[in-house]
Amino acid sequence: MSGPLNGIRVLELGQLIAAPFATKLLAEFGAEVIKVETPEGGDPLRTWRKMHGDTSLWWYLQSRNKKSIAVNLKTPDGLDIVKRLAASADVVVENFRPGGLEKLGLGWDVLSSLNPNLTMVRISGYGQTGPYRDRPGFGAIGEAMGGLRYTTGSPDSPPARVGVSIGDTLASLHGVIGALMSILNVKVNGGAGQVVDVSLVESVFNVMESLVPEYDLLGEIRTRTGGALPGITPSNTYPTQDGGFVVIAGNSDPIFRRLMTAIGRPDLAEDPRMRSNDGRSQHAALLDGVIGDWSKARSVDDALAALDAADVPAGRIYSVADIVADPHYQARDMILEAELPGGTQVKMPGIVPKLSGTPGAVRWQGPALGAHTDAVLADLGLDATAIQTLRDAGAVK
């Protein structure tokens, strides 16, 4: 393996999105990720959304570079395998409901006693403590209770959701950040391992900007504003003559002046009321109307050409077809060619972020259930006979 996380072993005890997305990122940058799955079907994500044969396309992406072992955690031998793997791991990532691992005998007290340098990333709906800790919580609930959905959508419509599982992935990113900080503390500072407690609700709440102080000091409850960015003006989505939309962000003072000049309103560029964002935000409806009138008289391409010439940040709203065809995505290796079982070629997203010296890589797509069971067990010192005995006893597949 290569990458900045080469030599880091990660044990994944998770399924679906939050924990597996976190370990996907670690695996892309060189960590050895061993994913523990149930012998009966494995991770449910294997059959979610669009399929290639009997396997989800999402699975092939989310589980790339991971090793799959099929272990029955309802057996003593299966639990012993997990303990042995945790004893040699740097990180365990799990997204059981709080207390789930403890019921199996795999709680923090047990695993940390086997490996004092272990970092355990625990992703759950509400965190490991607090009055809601035992409630079931998916990303959708995190988005709702974290404040995101209250601010998403049109003012005259019910709260909307983002079209992807953003609550889960925000929790994943916080889990990765916490894991890397803990690993650094162990490897560089000589510290002990620790629990990284990640809540779906809190991960969403953490990106909600100045929501709380605005409410506390000003009584302001930020709500849905459609395509506009509240309090940042002008920044909105504007219709075009050909039925499309352009997003225009003219919210810094010099950019605003360039924008007004580009759309033929130099008077507004020089208007004393519009010299700062505070003043412009008081006249957001006026400015949105003026910009919208200009955009509606032009195609998307013509509007973007004029704004680009004026050095004003603007862009079309991309569909996936736009993304795949875009030369910038291609030049940045953000659309990669992959091969699925049977030789089928398919495009997959590239790797983020881009590291100049130790970049991430895709070594293989999401593996078959239990594809690495024998190899991982052999690495633990078990010979073929011992592995077959475990298989016959139903501890592994």
Point out the residues that are catalytic. 168
Give the DSSP H or E segment for 199.
strand 195-199
State residue 261 phi and psi, 5-degree precision. Answer: -65, -40
Q: Is 142 exposed, middle or buried (0-12, 13-18, 19+ CB in 10 A)?
A: buried
Q: How many Å apart are CA 344 and CA 52, to the nearest integer? A: 9
d(CA 115, CA 11) in angstroms, rounded, equals 13
What is the distance, to the nearest Å, from the Cα of residue 203 to the centroid of all Cα atoms in its chain? Answer: 11
Q: What is the DSSP string of 283-315?
A: THHHHHHHHHHHHHTS-HHHHHHHHHHTT--EE
Segments in the chain forming alpha helices (H):
18-28, 57-62, 76-87, 100-104, 108-114, 139-145, 166-187, 200-205, 211-218, 253-262, 266-270, 277-282, 284-296, 300-309, 320-325, 327-331, 373-379, 384-392
